[in-house]
Amino acid sequence: MKKKKLFTQKTVPYLFCAPFLLSFFIFLLYPMLNMICTSVFNLQGVSTYVFVGADHYRRLLTDPHIVSAVLNSIGFTVGIVVVNVVFAMLLAILLNNRLTPLRNVFRSALYIPALTSIVVAGIFFRLFFAGNADTPLNLLAGLFGQSAREWLYDTKLTGILALVFTSTWRWLGMNLLYFLSGLQTISPELYDAAYVDGANAWQKFRYVTLPGLRPILVFVITILTYGGLRMFGESYVLWRNSNTPGDIGLTIVLYIYRTAFGQFDMGYASAMSVVLFAFLMVLNAVFIKVFGIGKGGTGR
């Protein structure tokens, strides 16, 4: 007699997927619906909710902080994508080249910042961007005839640059690994063929490396775009959660956080989250359509 098994080839996949589905319903779908509901109510007193309809959404359109936050977040995202793609790709190509000495040492050294928390990084970078005349940054500015400045409180642009620099310090190592992993998928024969055809270094990069890296490039750009738009920690630690003149360094998520957990205006904060959420879903659809992300993972 053969023992009847509970999990057969037909049923076991559902068991394997159960954790994901449960988590999806409890920690994603339900909160999402809940958030949409909260966004049309206003909390009054301790636990009385008053229906306010689209009021919060109307308020969004006239809130000047939103404009600053959106501009900061977009500026930051563009900066982080450009800087991280260019440097991570360059470093990955160098570290993949057999002629480069000490490849493993450099690989680890460049990854190490990824091991720190934003709080620890913030301690250093707050001082790095400080206003005293003898910081390396201000000494450098002095060489160009600029006077020393408080980089974190100077202009919106210096604020964004400080954010991009701080984030890149922590994120570059990870993106470097992604590109290194992408480079492994390019067949060495292609380079041999290019060599036979007499291609120079630039042509090899343009016609072999770049097309080969396309999937990973799309992946990294996607991750960085979302990472940029959702950024919170860098902004929180660099300006110590205080209001800045002209909303320097205020990002979308930081503004939502302050509205929700600083002023306890949950209804308005929810409305902002709903809009951000909807925007990211649209962006998601565009990315999938344009770049065809995930096609590689669904094959077989």
Partner 1 sequence: MKTRHTAYRILVVCLLVLFAAVSLIPFLYLLVTSFVDDMSLVFRHGIALRVTPDLLSIENYRMLATDSDGLFFRWFGNSVVITVSFTILSIALSSMTGYGVGMYRFRGRRAIIVLILSTMMIPIETLMIPLYNEMRAFNLLNSVAGVILPFAVSAFTIYFFLQYTQSLSQDFMDAARLDGCGEFGIFVRIMIPLMKPAYASMLILQATTEWNDFLWPLIVMSKSESFTLTVGLQTYLSPYGNNYNLMFAGAVVSVVPVMILFFLCQKLFMEGMIAGGIKG
Interaction mask 218-257, partner 1, x per CB under 8 A: xx--x---x--xx-xx--xx--x-x----------x--xx
Phi, psi values for residue 192, rounded to 5°: -60, -45
For the segment 46-85, give every residue that binds partner 1 (CB under 8 A). Answer: none
For the segment 147-206, give every residue that binds partner 1 (CB under 8 A). Answer: 169, 172-173, 177-178, 180-182, 184-185
Which H helix or E strand runs over 49? strand 48-51
Assigned token pair, 150: 């408080």
Name which of 34 and 155 has its Cβ closer to partner 1.
Answer: 34
For the segment 109-138, give every residue that binds partner 1 (CB under 8 A). Answer: 109-121, 123-125, 127-128, 130, 132, 134-136
Quote the least distance from Cβ 61 to partner 1, whole Å: 19
- Local structure of residue 152 (DSSP, 8 states): G
- Local structure of residue 41 (DSSP, 8 states): E
Quote the least distance from Cβ 31 to partner 1, whole Å: 4
Judge whether 79 and 160 are in contact, CB under 8 Å: yes
Quote the least distance from Cβ 287 to partner 1, whole Å: 8
Q: Is 8 helix (H, G, I), strand (E, B) or coil?
A: coil
Among 13, 211, 246, 262, binds partner 1 (CB under 8 A): 13
Among 23, 44, 187, 243, binds partner 1 (CB under 8 A): 23
Binding footprint of partner 1, residue count (CB under 8 A): 112
- Selection from 126, 83, 85 nearest residue 249 by Cα: 126
Interaction mask 271-300, partner 1, x per CB under 8 A: --x--xx--xx-xx--xx----xx-xxxxx
- Selection from 278, 271, 279, 275 nearest residue 55 by Cα: 271
- Selection from 216, 217, 215, 191 nearest residue 204 by Cα: 191
Name which of 106 and 207 has its Cβ closer to partner 1.
Answer: 106
- The contacts of residue 111 (CB under 8 Å, 6+ apart) are 173, 174, 176, 177
Quote the least distance from Cβ 159 to partner 1, whole Å: 18
